[in-house]
Amino acid sequence: MHFLDDLKWRGLIHQTTDSSEGMKALYSHFNKGPVKAYCGFDPTSDSLHIGSLLPILNLVRLQKAGHKPIAVVGGATGMIGDPSGKTQERTLLDSAALEKNLAGIRNQLGRFLDFSGSSGATLVNNFDWFKSISYIDFLRDVGKSFSVNMMLGKESVRARLEDRDHGISYTEFSYMLLQAYDFYVLFKNHDCTLQLGGSDQWGNIVAGIDLIRRNTSKESFGITWPLVTKSDGAKFGKSEKGNVWLDSARTSPYEFYQFLLQVDDKDVVHFLKIFTFLSEKEILELAECVKKSPEKREAQKMLAQELTRYVHGAEELLGAEKASQALFSEDLSQMDLKTLLTTMADAPQTKLPLSRFDTGIAALDLLVESGLCASKGAARKDIQGGGIYLNNARLSDVNLVVKKDGLIEGKALVLRKGKKTYHLVIAE
């Protein structure tokens, strides 16, 4: 499928600078040969989050279609902060934090884009061309090309001007000119003729195209995709803990997998379209599964598998699947400690001295000390009623004594009361 046709089918074209019927100019431009296109990544953190996958995947789609992607990390613009989609000014980063963030993002982008060979992707830092420009030179060469009237009309600026509590600083007001200059430099030095971005970037993209036209009298293009939201209008990409990160140290593969597994039926087909490389036929078949057998959650399983494998690798996907199965199975004893601790990260915990397990601790005492049962009498009653589980195996012996060999890797065990009340005991 043509790159543009694929974007259309997946619902990934919101606006284009080609206003002709059927995007004739864009199709003609693509049909002339490989197109170089860029997308920017803001270094507000040392890791990208799951929302950042969309621009990454669209650059990958571009590359798979035979075109050349350019990823721009904002070493310069990151010092300012893009006001687009923000209700108040961002906290300015110091140089050490910014460099740490840039290094993390460069590393992550290298996992997804192919930078090898003559047709490989290009990674650039816009600080490289801004560091040598004086303020006077920038005002003369770039600022003169833009009227304040035009800048005030952009949505990202207008929304902030209407907010009496926060407004917009001159620093953020100037951001549009910086991004416009990025596109101009990439056009001039890298033959980049297309900028991609979310719909909140529309004003910045158009500004770049205007600057290119004023300085070169040549044509360039822009495409935006809709911002990713759930069917209820909420922004996609946040769990109860906050952002779902691509860095496994910040969001574990298990948490990443579980987040996707919980996607609502109303959203899952849309997310399969925009976040996976599955074909139209495969996605339509999964859409039918959602209609006919929603309880099987086949579409959610596929979404979780595809993205976890893509972001974290096949081995981590297998671990996440095993952890998910084990958590609802009758035996947790075979789960490794790292996965267990990740899986039970949100569960209440009790820490006990490892030495207490040398002679053993009565299960009744564990249930009381953990707070799962109010007393030994209540614990005994719950065990006899079949409602207590040790490492997900039903506990039937009220006199059981738990020793080191009953701990997972000699360090932890999971108590459960009923179907959903878990408690993690850690020996240290």
CATH number for 391: 3.10.290.10
What's the Cα-to-Cα distance from 376 to each of 159, 297, 352, rounded to whole Å?
Answer: 61, 41, 18
Residue 374 dihedral angles phi and psi, to the nearest 5°:
-75, -25
Rg of the chain over Cα atoms, rounded to whole angstroms, equals 27
**Given this model, what pLDDT does residue 120 score?**
92
Residue 233 placed within a domain: no
Q: What is the pLDDT of residue 420?
A: 72
Same domain, 24 and 135: yes
Does a structural domain hold residue 231?
Answer: no
At residue 42, the pLDDT reads 87
Strands 221-225 and 194-198: parallel
Query: What pLDDT, on a 0 to 100 scale, did the predictor assign at position 85?
Result: 59
Residues of the chain with pLDDT under 50: none
| Whether 280 and 370 share a structural domain | no
By C-alpha distance, which of 112, 57, 5, 41 is closest to 272?
A: 57
275 and 199 fall within a common domain: no
Domain hosting 398: range is 343-427
What is the reported pLDDT for 361?
Answer: 94
Q: At what angle do helices 202-216 and 175-190 cross, to 10 degrees?
A: 50
Would you state the pLDDT for residue 233?
87
Residue 337 covered by a domain: no
Burial category of 202 from C-beta neighbours within 10 Å (exposed 0-12, middle 13-18, buried 19 and up): buried
- The verdict on 101 and 17 lying in the same domain is yes
Beta strands in 65-158 (DSSP E): 68-73, 122-125
Give, in order, the Cα–Cα distances in Å from 295 to each of 216, 254, 284.
58, 21, 17
The pTM is what? 0.81
Residue 24: both structure tokens together: 């004739």
User: What is the predicted pLDDT for the residue at 89?
Assistant: 61
Task: Give the pLDDT of residue 90.
Answer: 59
Judge contact between 242 and 22, C-beta under 8 A. no
**pLDDT tens digit string along 130-168?**
999 999 999 999 999 998 888 888 777 877 777 766 678
What pLDDT is attached to residue 8?
Answer: 96
Say yes or no: 214 and 134 in one domain: yes
* Number of separate domains in the chain: 3
131 located within any domain: yes
The answer to whether residue 295 is domain-embedded is: yes
Cα(138)–Cα(262) distance, integer angstroms = 49
Q: Are residues 61 and 123 in the same domain?
A: yes
For residue 309, what pLDDT is reported?
97
Give CA–CA dist 254/319, Å, rounded: 8
HSE, side-chain direction, 13 A CA sphere, residue 309:
11
d(CA 306, CA 324): 16
Assess whether 356 and 269 both reside in one domain. Answer: no
